[in-house]
Chain A
Amino acid sequence: MAEGCTRLEIERQKLRVHSSLEQPKTPEDLRARQLRARDLLRGDLEGADLDAYVEERVVTSTLEKVLNTARANSIFPATFGLACCAIEMMSTVSPRYDIARFGAEAFRASPRQADLLILSGRVSIKMAPVVRRIYDQMLEPKWAISMGACSSSGGMFSNYAVVQGADKFMPVDVHVPGCPPRPEALLYGFNKLQEKIRGNPTPGWRSRYNAHGTEEWARGGPASKPSEEALEAYEKAREVLGA
């Protein structure tokens, strides 16, 4: 490949599944498996054979984890566009960016059937009660992504008509920066939300700024309580500012 070329060279590799459910290598192998499955169904498998068969095929987990995994991988966003960010939101559904890879391609036209509200654009103070009502109409469990600078902080609309950040009137799980964010950015934010739903959100800036424990939980989770380090950092900042 020429120097500075933007194209990538792709090495083709055979995909290998590293689990006990490895693909059978030969037709004989496959046949042996089929026979064992038939024996199990007939009730012919006993003792060590049965144990080995079960161990090969069963994964144990907690109910919560399974539920959360299922929820994270089948989110139904609400069809709800506010402004120009909605154009980017629409293109995330298109085959080029394809939010269907993460199981959220079915945008529901009713908030009653939706899990996720993407605030795609500026929220004017006249629209705020409407957005809040739509959010309240969604059934639990529900999440919200604030997409773009305007719905996160008011953005360039620092004026009398626009709410300075949608989290003033409703809980927001993920803020996606950008004006407007590219579809990839929205997908990244969506992946962050999935991690949050699965129960292990990445600390992100909190690890850099020593602010573990300052997370705010809208519902469910542990009570919001700043950590020792965060409190110390806060006091130090207050001293520096002389407040």
Chain B
Amino acid sequence: MKRNFLNSSAFFFIFIGTIFANILPEGKSFTVKKVEVRCDGGIQVGVKTQEASFSTNVDLKLDDFRLRCDHLDISYLEIEGKTQVKSLNATGNVICEQASRSLKAWSDELTYDRASHQLVFSSEGKTKVDQGENNLEAPVILIDLESGEAFAKGGGSIEINLEEME
């Protein structure tokens, strides 16, 4: 049983909040565990400035989370001996996947900022997120990792399989 909703923010909150609350390790921030990054255009790393840039066909794998994009900038910091992502900016043909949750997202840009605990998918056209038979589309989808709430900006659509939610 499927229903379509337009600009239904309540469902956006439930849907996105449920999807992304557990994507990121520790729920609220990126904590670097086992990471593998491949790219075709080389990297630039500033050990002192704690910044890294990856170019051309970037493919990042963090456990079963996978991010592909054209260009990726990461700044990181050390907190109590652990390397944590301070901010992240992925641009160009951004595709996020998490196999264990059948999750896939497409956008032009993805940004993460540790200070605001916000994850933002944005596109000139539509950002699209699929989880199984559920999917949603909107130009900008902002996820507040602190509260677990998500906000969709601009017109969008959501399609939820209610049988799955039961």
Q: Are A and B genuine complex partners?
A: no
Report which B residues bind A (CB closer than 8 A). Answer: none
Report which A residues bind B (CB closer than 8 A). Answer: none
